[in-house]
Structure 1
């Protein structure tokens, strides 16, 4: 497979990073990327880069451009209803020991553009198209496209089509939602056309009872904007609230906006201004905060990459970058042996992804449901930051190898540029 013929479904971060490294391994590779949207989706919330993904962006020569496009967020401040600070967790300014705010905090759309620009001239990018069906063959995978109805054969089909991957469902002969682990967290994202942080570079996090969170993040736009998040954290037993949120998700943005207006109208702090900003925003979207726990991430010549195979909120972007690098590296290390390459990719990535996903109840622990629970949480955070135990804990974790844990992967012998 000196000149592999590859189809990537999805033009996001995972697919672009994989294409970059595959072209490094096989400069004459024939890569087609199909994107179901009519154009590149260059919107989205803030994401960050951690662990081995930091090394990979440096090897790609993308580090400086990413630093230029970061949000310049300086940390996160927890506040009470009157705006008084409870605790402040500042960014460390380091890539080996990072706090909640990463050294590489960047909006998803900016990062996606940086990666796609590195390959755009060397791949075939088809918009408004997707995979309708595929059929495994001994020497390839035959793909039927949804819109054109064409059938073409490829050496490998890479599913980088996100959380609700249709290809994952077909590969596992199941419904895509069957691999989704619901963490009980729903998030609305939007840009507020005024600066509610008053020029500050600290993000602000406010908790109200019932697992309701108002989270504001700075926007680098000099015109003065704020990135708003309304978060609902539900417990396992709160089936009624969870169903209301899921129903609004299914019905679409307007339904979800109305539900947020109802649920957050009495929470206090700057909620009225946030709700007005949400109503007036032009980039609103909402989603379920969930993990993908797939029993396997390849079958024959079909392979899952990024969120399609191991979505992990808070670490998913880094996993997507690492996964793209490892998949290309294994194809480089096993030329002509797709089966072994994909087996090695799964052996490396699946255990690492599972270890990064944890128990799935972290948000419930950090965001209490009751006023008494919020007060205890605030007191604990205040004590930890006042005594600087947060910095000590990060330093100890790093020394013991827990913070910034990296994936164990071979030293791939990439051809010289």
Structure 2
């Protein structure tokens, strides 16, 4: 029997997490899939990500990945908030900090790439420059390669999606800055940090450090700070380092050592904490997936929801045998309520770095109580599982 998507040419922009996951499911249904990624290789930066509840874990199990991810999970300890002298203010249990499975984003990206690469074409160091919809496809122009025509284009290229900008309009229509920025980098573990992240706060700023799971001689730094929207070049590493240094200079605890290590860091993850609000995820033969459609920086369940979304989008295309109008409509109908439940949540910047002394004291008092901790665990798991997974026979 012919696979339902045989002969369908699909271009995916983004080789982070949702792009390779979608490529895997589409290839199982016979589609000819190409994944384009602006980075020259798989990205090694980013933070640990987690999966919660039977909806997330159900997709991983259907992909045959769950045992592999358990083997490389981070086993992070509880998150510990400390004062300037290192004394514990409160400690959040592992269920809040790490979900049911927690892995480094780079390890997850690698696992999904290796799963999909034998059946998909990957173009690294490449980017889309123009999209033009034709009667029977989408004409796509690239930075380096020759123009090509695809039947469908999927933007799985994150919060600052190039596909969304080209097909739906400028970023400012869809991305709302939430008043915070974050950064992360690797450093020598001269502090003797363990795998339990330690977090230090002053109003509007948070710095944390934890030992690297694989190499205890290394550690990972993570910072969040309140700021109006900044203008900076995302390709200029030194400019981003200066923004972080200016925000944290003068603080105590381990912050001076962390800033010294930042100067030596060869790679840095830096971005705004922002929310994507898109009233539609589809236009013609082009669709958005994951953070490009419903992103919330540090939203807690964005990666798990993206994995679910990839499964649903591929499943609906296979069920409709490539009839994209029907498939795209069903995909939006299934995913929009699920993504909206967690995306409408509290601004993560306000939880990590409350901007006032009163807000910081209130958060510390609340998070120190067992009842609030129990409610946090229950709420996150409930939000993650409020989606029944269709059994798509074609995938």
TM-score if structure 2 supplies the norm length?
0.91
Question: After the TM superposition, which residues 39-188 of structure 1 pair with which residues of structure 2 at under 5 Å, given as runs?
Answer: 39-51=41-53, 52-92=55-95, 99-148=96-145, 150-172=146-168, 174-188=169-183
| 1: CA distance, partners of 2:200 / 2:19 | 35
SS across alignment from 1:138: coil
| 1: CA distance, partners of 2:180 / 2:194 | 27
| 2: CA distance, partners of 1:403 / 1:135 | 38
Out of 196, 205, 210, the residue aligned to residue 199 of structure 2 is 205
Tell me which residue corresponds to 2:243.
259
| Count of equivalent residues | 388
Out of 29, 34, 37, the residue aligned to residue 35 of structure 1 is 37
| C-alpha RMSD of matched pairs (Å) | 2.2
Please give the per-residue CA displacement for 1:272-317, whole angstroms capped at 9, x wherever unaligned: 1111122222222311111211121111111111121111232221
Please give the per-residue CA displacement for 1:24-63, whole angstroms capped at 9, x wherever unaligned: 222xx21111222222223322222234222111111111
| 2: CA distance, partners of 1:363 / 1:10 | 26
Q: Higher mean Cα deviation, 35-44 or 15-24?
A: 35-44
Out of 10, 14, 17, the residue aligned to residue 18 of structure 2 is 14
Question: After the TM superposition, which residues 328-339 of structure 1 pair with which residues of structure 2 at under 5 Å, given as runs?
Answer: 328-339=314-325
The Cα of 1:115 is off from its aligned counterpart by 0.3
TM-score if structure 1 supplies the norm length?
0.86
| 2: CA distance, partners of 1:359 / 1:132 | 34
| 2: CA distance, partners of 1:160 / 1:250 | 19
SS across alignment from 2:213: coil
Task: Structure 2 unaligned segments of length 5 or more: list them.
Answer: none
Shift of the 142–279 alpha-carbon distance from structure 1 to 2, 3 Å rule, reads same
Q: Higher mean Cα deviation, 159-168 or 373-382?
A: 373-382
Shift of the 69–195 alpha-carbon distance from structure 1 to 2, 3 Å rule, reads farther
**Contact 1:312 / 1:356 at 8 angstroms: preserved in 2?**
no
SS across alignment from 1:389: helix
**Contact 1:249 / 1:286 at 8 angstroms: preserved in 2?**
no
The Cα of 1:363 is off from its aligned counterpart by 2.9
**Contact 1:348 / 1:409 at 8 angstroms: preserved in 2?**
no
SS across alignment from 2:59: helix
**Contact 1:86 / 1:381 at 8 angstroms: preserved in 2?**
no
| 2: CA distance, partners of 1:249 / 1:162 | 17
Tell me which residue corresponds to 1:345.
331
Q: Higher mean Cα deviation, 14-23 or 246-255?
A: 246-255
| 2: CA distance, partners of 1:138 / 1:247 | 39
| 1: CA distance, partners of 2:378 / 2:205 | 32
| 2: CA distance, partners of 1:135 / 1:242 | 36
SS across alignment from 2:90: strand
Shift of the 364–259 alpha-carbon distance from structure 1 to 2, 3 Å rule, reads same
**Contact 1:394 / 1:403 at 8 angstroms: preserved in 2?**
no
